[in-house]
Chain A
């Protein structure tokens, strides 16, 4: 069995390497809060849990500071792969995807009810017939059919 040494700061926090600063801070704060609750519940393990709290605080501090995070990413490139990833579909995970999916779903829902929702941009459109330019030479040839 190969020892992968798969501990990255991201995996310790349980966030994706692509997590935003806010998500990282949130994860760090949540973990620390839970560890403190645990310290209250399990006084016998207080020293061990305190040590863990310090560790989470430190690595959270690295990832929360953009420059330190960039340096960490550069030094541990392969660990970006060996990090727990979100398995949720993008619509549940990424704000931008959520909006895209929602917009498509609502468009289809309303279309079924006879209401046409204008596409947000040309990226959402499929019908570009209006973009054709009349061309006498071409249109004559087509008209001969």
Chain B
């Protein structure tokens, strides 16, 4: 297939790549592919990420093409990856030793890398300006020697002899000049030499612009206007109409000493006429009237107000105002005028509320002045900004060292309040731990700041292995566990803060953890940072271990107190404890003999929390608020260990304690639905949960039903049935209520035995445990057998009811007014009643209804006793 009907150059290139990829891999095809990827990388609008990938692909196709490395280096240079850029530039020079572009970029990256390499950069620029190839080669050799020192550092910084540049090459004189004027000490001769080169070349419009611009830059760098005018030479007169020369002339006019009002008027006029850009005016203003000049803050700020709105509304002017305010505030700080410093920084913050240095300075001020009013807000805002900026640019690495340092310092401060040294395993005595636990501020700060420190420290590792906190030979399964553990730790650390952008930050951090895992899995990139970061990773693991041990000491102290008052804190401790990477820390604990090989620290900590939760109602909460607080702490414990039934049982009890029976019932059912292994430990908990469900149902019955013996007028069977039905509707899993209801419904005379069977069958379906099911089965069998003999039972019931009624009536009559006639009448009535019960007994025996026999026997005995008493004879146990 060939590229067809494509409507944009980018699409054409993409189609061409597709086409080329289908062809046999020949050198020509590879070079064409490299060129296509290269053109796509440099396409206007290509994002840096895509451009980088394209250049990587191009280099894979053609690893000997210098321009590919040059542009990849340039991209990395612009993206701040200076070491990688340096490596690429150096490689270009190996492939194309005469490339001035590569040498220029090499020089620039060395300058940008900071003081350690700046002299090397200057050396290369000087060599470029000298136009002597041997000097250039020598300069590159110096760079190579420095690079070699980086691999095997000898501990001493390499000294590079300063080198004066030559008269200046067309492509390097400006770079040399700009580099020169940023130095603390500027060689006047060298400066003059370079500007002479610029002036000599200023014949065409472009070169005139270059020289005039160089003069303006010189002026902005603080060089005297008189000297700059000399450097400008004849340009000012011979090319006055050239826009760059007009700009230089305007800048020179502004640089003349003038009173502030005249300066503002002239600046406004030059900007209005399009001679000067507003940025130049702002820069010159700061140089002329900045905070370094003597005078009051009021005067300095009043000078800014002299500009017209057209200038004051510009973005650059807002920056100028911040620079002035900040400079004045720094001066006030140094002179210990702290109230003034605060006002000025607050003013700067009003212009840009997201500026980290302003927030930091205000926070430092609050700490310095020990201002309780400002302290928490100022430090909170600073921390928020450090996360917000990272979230804003989508890179957790932004401000990471600052965040790490801030959190670590706060951790250290919190520790030092009660411990002499920080972090050591044997550092805290029980007294120190007790004092620490009593200091809520310090403890809360330590608990929360440490996790933030840890998460940032991990994110700071460039090695994916150290980022996840695993070792080089960790298997895939453990690595996934480590990744998930770190992701949880990120959530724990960021939980509870209401900083803007935190969700985005959490997403980015989580993404980084996942990418680290993918990188290790794919094994695409050699973990080049593993060795160099190993010591730091070990130190962090040690810090995590110390944290875990300190948390345990605190938990043990809480357990020793045997009080539910410490439950909230206990939850906090366990929450942080369980977030630690125990898959990594456990082997260290075992190795050091802190735990035996069969101990799972996570289970240990869970057990600690459950043990502490057992004291939830000790001492008895005095108020509703205290009860609610204990319950809330238990809720959090359950949220932390959602699979733990014991904690759920305790929570159910706490819910009942605040009178929420329905909620307790629902919570108990939820706990019983959790999957769990049936073992010695869980079985009693399950039983207690079922008892709790039963009890909740039973307690829903009116007092008169629950304890009829205590009531003056015991309820009728029908009333009890109604109450039981109502309770069962509310708590259908209450076995006690269901069984009692079934039992009553199955009673002869009630006539609801089918309903009883149905009730028990439903109960059987939804039994909460094997034991409960067995109970239902047993009761169901009994009820069914009752149903089989129901007609006989009904007869027995009728007979006994009739006998009882007769007995009650005649005894009632007799005792109301005893007489011989009444005695005879009673005896006459009781004898047939005894016969009737005897017949009922016979029927029961015949039908083998054994469960009725004891009641019949008892009734018969009582009737005979009555007869004997009326007769004045001994009761006859025999027939008749």
Which residues on A are within 8 Å of B, measured CB to CB? Answer: 1-7, 11-14, 20-22, 27, 31, 34, 77-78, 80-89, 91-93, 95-96, 98-99, 101-103, 105-110, 113-118, 120-123, 126-129, 131-133, 135, 137-138, 141-142, 144-145
Name the distance in Å between B62's Cβ and chain A's nearest Cβ. Answer: 10
> In terms of DSSP, what is the predominant structure of the interface of chain B?
helix
Could you tell me the distance between the alpha carbons of A116 and B210 in the complex, rounded to whole angstroms?
9
B175-183, B550-558, B710-718, B834-842: which lies at the A interface?
Answer: B175-183
Is B243 part of the contact surface with A, judged by Cβ < 8 Å? yes
Q: B39 near A88 (CB under 8 angstroms)?
A: no
Residues of A near B408 (CB, < 8 A) are 78
Q: A84 near B333 (CB under 8 angstroms)?
A: yes
Q: A142 near B9 (CB under 8 angstroms)?
A: yes
Q: B279 near A1 (CB under 8 angstroms)?
A: no
* Among A86, A105, A116, A138, residue most surrounded by chain B Cβ atoms (within 10 Å): A138
B408 to A, closest residue via Cβ: A78
Given the interface contacts A1-B441, A85-B360, does A93 sit within 8 Å of B323 by beta carbon? yes
Given the interface contacts A106-B277, A116-B206, A123-B78, does A138 sit within 8 Å of B16 by beta carbon? yes
Residues of B near A102 (CB, < 8 A) are 216-217, 220, 279-280, 283
Q: CB within 8 A of B286: which of A92, A105, A138?
A: A92
28 A–B contacts, CB within 8 A, in A order: A6-B367, A14-B331, A31-B334, A78-B412, A80-B405, A84-B333, A86-B330, A92-B286, A92-B320, A95-B221, A103-B213, A105-B280, A106-B244, A106-B277, A110-B213, A115-B209, A116-B209, A118-B210, A120-B174, A122-B104, A131-B38, A131-B71, A133-B35, A135-B35, A138-B20, A141-B19, A144-B3, A145-B12
Q: A105 near B31 (CB under 8 angstroms)?
A: no
B355 to A, closest residue via Cβ: A87
Q: B319 near A92 (CB under 8 angstroms)?
A: yes
Q: A78 near B217 (CB under 8 angstroms)?
A: no
Given the interface contacts A84-B333, A141-B16, A145-B12, does A78 sit within 8 Å of B405 by beta carbon? yes
Is B445 part of the contact surface with A, judged by Cβ < 8 Å? yes
Could you tell me the distance between the alpha carbons of A34 and B331 in the complex, rounded to whole angstroms?
11
Q: A2 near B35 (CB under 8 angstroms)?
A: no
Name the distance in Å between B599's Cβ and chain A's nearest Cβ. Answer: 36
Interface residues of B in 251-282 (CB under 8 A from A): 274, 276-277, 279-280, 282
Q: CB within 8 A of B35: which of A3, A77, A132?
A: A132
Binary CB contact string for chain B from 717 to 754 against chain A (1 if under 8 A, 0 otherwise) = 00000000000000000000000000000000000000
B368-376, B503-511, B607-615, B791-799: which lies at the A interface?
Answer: B368-376
Could you tell me the distance between the alpha carbons of A123 and B105 in the complex, rounded to whole angstroms?
8
Could you tell me the distance between the alpha carbons of A124 and B277 in the complex, rounded to whole angstroms?
19
Could you tell me the distance between the alpha carbons of A122 and B370 in the complex, rounded to whole angstroms?
51
Interface residues of B in 176-213 (CB under 8 A from A): 178, 181-182, 184, 205-206, 209-210, 213
Is B700 part of the contact surface with A, judged by Cβ < 8 Å? no
Is B535 part of the contact surface with A, judged by Cβ < 8 Å? no
Could you tell me the distance between the alpha carbons of A123 and B29 in the complex, rounded to whole angstroms?
31
Interface residues of B in 371-410 (CB under 8 A from A): 372, 375-376, 401-402, 405-406, 408-410
Is B451 part of the contact surface with A, judged by Cβ < 8 Å? no
A5 to B, closest residue via Cβ: B413
Q: B105 near A122 (CB under 8 angstroms)?
A: yes
Q: B184 near A22 (CB under 8 angstroms)?
A: yes
Q: B243 near A135 (CB under 8 angstroms)?
A: no
Residues of B near A98 (CB, < 8 A) are 220-221, 283
Binary CB contact string for chain B from 1 to 25 against chain A (1 if under 8 A, 0 otherwise) = 0111110010011011001100000
Q: CB within 8 A of B243: which of A22, A96, A110, A129?
A: A110
